[in-house]
Structure 1
Amino acid sequence: MSKQDRLIVTDTTGQEVYLIVGKWGRVGDKLSVFSLDGERLIDVKQVILSLFPKFRLFKDGNKIGSLKKRPGLRGIKNPFFTITRLNWIITGNYDKQQFTVSRFGKKIGTIDKSVTYMGEFYCVDFIKEQDIPVALAIAVLLDHYAVSKSSVLKKYQQEKYSLSFIHAIWMKIKQTIWKKVKIK
């Protein structure tokens, strides 16, 4: 996701519902989330480039919050994100790319990455539909923190040339074997 400048977002039925355009990684870069009828829903602008970057979120040209990466309790190892004004806290497992979004201690949604034989996907599941455009922009930013992009790319390249569903099962077996070897 982080290497593309356009993403089409589909719902669970496969209908295209949103378009994400832009890039990030430099101060001043911007991501925008659009509905398919062309309405700009959210803009995210990078304002600080560092180990703990900061982004500003805008809706209809008005600032609705700031997204900031913060160090975790164990320092840099388990960081989390906050979105001021929206009062969101985004925590999760960066290895598995599974995140929970909470507001005032109550879970309001999840952002989870899946890697299948068809490629990489994020599943964004929120209680309120109005939160989804912000969550989509957050998913693109979180993708940058994927632990092992090269191994995901390698898996994708292997899966790209697979002509059967057995390949996905074989990849799962290889992962299980590799985990056992790493542990010992």
Structure 2
Amino acid sequence: MKLLFKQRFFSWLDSYDIYDETGETIYSVKGQLSFGHRLHIHDRSGNHIATVKQVLLTFLPKFELYKRDQYIGCISKEFTFFSPKYNIDFNGWQVQGHIMEWDYEIYQGNHLVATVSKELWNFTDTYSMDIQNPQDALYVLMLVLAIDAEKCSRN
């Protein structure tokens, strides 16, 4: 399953639309004005289904993941010099990134869960997500949002 994650043009808050291969909007993401990033994910009917919330007052960036209002895990950046590394307390997943953090893979053990690539020649942040199991799409989206928010926090 391929999804396209695209930031909305001229948005003051973090707002994204996620499209499937046919161009249909599958999810929408709306940022909430708060200290730190708080991203609410809605399904195509507008129902709130998940939240990615930045934890403040931590040495390295950390994001909690909620499905509806239930905590399901977190992702935190680890200290490294070159290749980005994230500690994921969720599904036994691991992120293996490349030096610029534009392209990375998500694994569960040796099994590839998803490949994420940033499309460079766009006016807004745009990522292509190739997800092996469609049931993992929401969770992959949550991780991509957290990693993108962490990168935005540094800039």
Q: In the alignment, does 2:60 pair up with 1:55? A: no
2:17 aligned to 8, 14, 28, which one? 8
Comparing both chains, which one has the higher relative contact order based on Cα–Cα distances under 8 Å and sequence gaps of 6 or more? 2
TM-score, normalised to structure 2, is: 0.76
CA contact (8 A) 2:94 2:106 kept: yes
**Offset of 1:95 from its aligned partner?**
1.8
In 1: Cα distance, 2:58 partner to 2:43 partner: 31
Alpha-carbon shift at residue 10 of structure 1 (Å): 0.9
Sequence identity percentage: 24
Q: Deviations over 1:1-42 (max 9, x none)?
A: 496422111111111111011158944x41111111122222
Matched position secondary structure for 2:78: strand
> How far is the alpha carbon of 1:57 from its aligned partner?
0.7
Q: For structure 1, which runs of at least 5 residues remain unmatched after alignment?
A: 150-184
What number of residue pairs does the alignment pair up? 143
- Letter paired with 1:47: V
Q: Give the superposition deviation at 1:136.
A: 1.9
CA shift, 1:122, in A, is 0.5
Listed as ranges, the matches of 1:88-107 within 5 Å are 88-95=93-100, 97-107=102-112
Gap change, CA 1:90 and 1:26, over 3 Å in 2 = farther
Separation (CA, whole Å) in 2 of partners of 1:106 and 1:51: 31
Residue pairs, 1:35-54, within 5 angstroms? 35-50=43-58, 52-54=60-62
- Counterparts of 1:80-119 in structure 2 under 5 Å? 80-95=85-100, 97-116=102-121
Report deviation, 1:119. Answer: 5.5
Mapped partners of 2:35, 2:66: distance in 1: 18
Residue type at the aligned position of 2:14: D
Secondary structure of the corresponding residue to residue 116 of structure 1: coil
Q: Tell me: CA distance 1:23–1:52, structure 2 relative to 1, closer, same or farther (3 Å).
A: farther
Contact 2:65/2:142 (8 A) holds in 1: no
The secondary structure found in structure 1 opposite 2:22 is coil
- Tell me, yes or no, if the aligned pair for 1:80 and 1:92 is still in contact at 8 Å: yes
Q: Which has the higher helix share?
A: 1
- Bigger-Rg structure (1/2): 1
C-alpha distance in 1, partners of 2:33/2:90?
A: 22
5+ residue gaps, structure 2: 1-6
CA contact (8 A) 1:31 1:137 kept: no
